[in-house]
Structure 1
């Protein structure tokens, strides 16, 4: 698959274009390529970035209280 432009990458990740732009500017987003003015993303990098953020736990208020007690 070819590299994706910003709009395509944002759609793939389920984010808005502006969110992806902010992540690129301030850090924390997926790896990207800057070729002149064009910004592109490798689909493999997008998948890896998304997979790193997968969560199995669901936090509730009860879990939050336990975490606070452990930290004290």
Structure 2
């Protein structure tokens, strides 16, 4: 399950809807500031383990890793 990302302005403009969606799906959202990860919004008690973060990263950039493996 890849982590969703969105810009700070979009998160701010849609904060109520964003938090409702995060709570409903359980999927965290990384908010970017100046195109860099700034904060993560996630449901209470849903702290990601190191393994979860690594798997999400590998999923998100699998195409890059496939190219590097050639």
TM-score normalised by L of structure 1: 0.30
Q: Report which of the two structures shows the higher radius of gyration computed on alpha carbons.
A: 1
**Which structure has the highest strand share of the two?**
2
